[in-house]
Structure 1
């Protein structure tokens, strides 16, 4: 409890617990040791082993990792990722704000916010772990609810709580508690009469199929994909489909795609906090046609030419932040290196 509370005193975005090291806080992107002595295996096991529920412990044993939400003595909520590694258990914790931030507070472009007001279709939200995808999805869900829509969220775990929905309605369902899987929850959204479906992570073929089925049924879908760039997110989404179904999946997605948004968080040059860099690929007729034909290699050029429609490459987003002196060139270079690892050089 003291370690979790210490995150607020340190102004940290996360806490990391590992055998042989003192607990570490991530402050402004850098790791800062706490005042605790290095933890031994027994101390880490004592801290982490009792956090998961019996069902979550079973998943930890089966898959080697589990995501959950914990609370401190003051009722503050934290997202937790507990995992097994060569020295036993490890854990990463991050605070969950009490209120869902607005799109304006996050710095989301207007063209991205407008996707929450589309009547139907699919928007993929991409970004690596820690890039703020969950927060952006929560902001878009709140935006849709304020417009009077019925939103069903399928999450693993539930982080942000949507308690004030305006004229709309939000149902949040957690995998392993309320639904068996992401795919099952997505399919059940049709039975619940959802106008909008939010899928916390697309990781398997069944979830891809459920997303496309929901889109075919006229539901507005937001789905997260762990990938650094827009084009690689589309590739990852489609690669989950069986090879003999790939052409059909591309065709259906081309009918319903609204856009793909990729984001990254970078350290500000001056002051504290992080700033959002965003890549936006909108589903123009040319983009839809390239997707249908499987010519994904044409999408970066189409994105650059679509500036007037609101499209923006990650290069352009970084250039704007550099021109405004919001970030350093070193910070932009680090993001470039991460993108190159995924085969999408900036």
Structure 2
């Protein structure tokens, strides 16, 4: 039993995403996006130091030399964690990300949009993106979609993640989860290898560089269904992000590829519920109809939002349309809606 377990045992792991432990401060947990004190007792430098030594005795010297270290910690009675220990000024800190085994259903995330998201899981090939800012629930939405496939189809799924946030149990699918830095060097190297491992579906935790985007597009072109994320808000911004990752001389070629193999974009944010407990995902959904494919191919991105607004019969909606639905249903407050609009400085 690790020394930190006495503290961890006092925390409800089901309701939080992260635990923060810093010398001289009370321990805190992140719940519904907010940091909340676990108790009022500051933790001394010596105790945090003991926690780190106890958790990774074989790597403690590396921590002392480099000032930071990543590792995993598992306790069957408490939970699974991805941990980063770090030095800050004259103190030490620990952040523990809770790795969930209880994966929500798509309908748990968004009942109103569940049927559209399920259609993405029925595709045979192409690229599906889930985008949004940090902490917007992208990984949870991806996990729910992968688990929907796991429950309904016989497929080989390879995931590349940094870190692994949900553990999938084998149901109908064979699922191989690989962690960047542990099982493979990078997203690009893991993705290259995945193409030689007979996958039906590839889930990339993030498309963070040009090389990864290139290989992901190639995978989508060669009969694989690829799910991934981008850290930006809005379907059009996602298209710009991909195109602008390439030199101007290659952008026309990438537009043609993207127009042919991008199947859709889900762009989401999390907002606090009216009742004060939990958060709800508001989603922009773009489905690549023939018209939108033509706009991407021709580079007429500024017209895409109009087609999303008019595409409700296909299941499309802007983020503003979904936000207004959530306000009208009483799920989120007008104040929460207004705050989001003001902070994002966009007309919705």
1:66–1:118 distance in 2 versus 1, CA, 3 Å:
farther
Shifted more, 44-53 versus 108-117: the winner is 44-53
- C-alpha deviation, 1:27, in angstroms: 3.6
- C-alpha deviation, 1:192, in angstroms: 0.9
Residue aligning to 2:216: 211
- C-alpha deviation, 1:40, in angstroms: 5.0
Q: TM-score, normalised by structure 1?
A: 0.86
- C-alpha deviation, 1:299, in angstroms: 1.9
Residue aligning to 2:156: 150
Give the whole-Å Cα distance in 2 for the aligned partners of 1:322 and 1:238.
Answer: 34
Greater C-alpha Rg: 2
Give the whole-Å Cα distance in 1 for the aligned partners of 2:312 and 2:183.
Answer: 42
Determine if contact 1:197/1:220 at 8 Å carries over to the other structure: yes
Residue aligning to 2:334: 329
Where in structure 1 are there 5+ consecutive unaligned residues? Answer: none
Instruction: Give matches, 1:1-346, under 5 Å.
Output: 1-8=5-12, 11-39=15-43, 41=45, 43-48=47-52, 69-72=72-75, 74-80=77-83, 89-107=92-110, 108-145=113-150, 146-166=152-172, 168-270=173-275, 272-340=277-345, 346=348
Give the whole-Å Cα distance in 2 for the aligned partners of 1:33 and 1:73.
Answer: 24
Q: TM-score, normalised by structure 2?
A: 0.86
SS of 1:191's partner is coil
1:264-285 alpha-carbon deviations (Å, 9 max, x no partner): 2222111622222111011112
- C-alpha deviation, 1:217, in angstroms: 0.8
- C-alpha deviation, 1:206, in angstroms: 1.1
Determine if contact 2:284/2:316 at 8 Å carries over to the other structure: yes
1:248–1:9 distance in 2 versus 1, CA, 3 Å:
closer
- C-alpha deviation, 1:15, in angstroms: 2.3
Give the whole-Å Cα distance in 2 for the aligned partners of 1:329 and 1:252.
Answer: 41
Q: How many residues align?
A: 341
Give the whole-Å Cα distance in 2 for the aligned partners of 1:61 and 1:239.
Answer: 38
Determine if contact 1:60/1:66 at 8 Å carries over to the other structure: no
1:154–1:13 distance in 2 versus 1, CA, 3 Å:
closer
